Amino acid sequence: MLKKITALMILSTCLVVMLQGCSFQLRKNTPLAAEFQQLQVIGEPIESGLRKALESAIQESGGQLSAQSKTKIRLINLREDKRIVAYNKERKARIYLISLKFNYDVLFGSKNSKRSFTRQRINLDKTFLYNADFALGKVKEEQQIRDSLYVEAARLILLRLKYGR
């Protein structure tokens, strides 16, 4: 019995040491490369939730937004959708799927010599379970999920800028 406890303690200690030594990092803002320190977001209206989230993420990562910037992120073909995935026994919508799909380009250079990354596509979706007894209403909960999709999309764009050169 004592041998089992000792072996378990040694195994637990080894696992803790290995986890502390690995380079696992939580999701956090990553600094932008020097060529992407000044950016302009185009293609979507200023009041768009995706555009607001992307501009906020750029600023949190140490970048600056500038209308005169030669580097632009162009958001294209934004589509937001909400579908019913499941019904309850009274045939009322129970589970919804909210999706966000769009393309984007990264353009840099002067007007005469523009070059860009290849067009990238982002598809995100999330389900939510609607229950009338929950504290939040359906509209409020849906908006919170959309906002989280915008933040995740902005994070993915910045990660691709950092590592996808």
Q: What is the pLDDT of residues 54-110, one digit of tens each?
A: 999 999 988 888 888 888 999 999 999 999 888 888 888 888 889 999 999 888 776
The model carries a pTM of: 0.74
Domain ranges of the chain: 27-163
Q: Which CATH superfamily is domain 27-163 in?
A: Lipoprotein like domain (3.30.160.150)
43/49 Cα distance (integer angstroms): 13
Task: State what percent of residues in the chain have pLDDT above 70.
Answer: 81
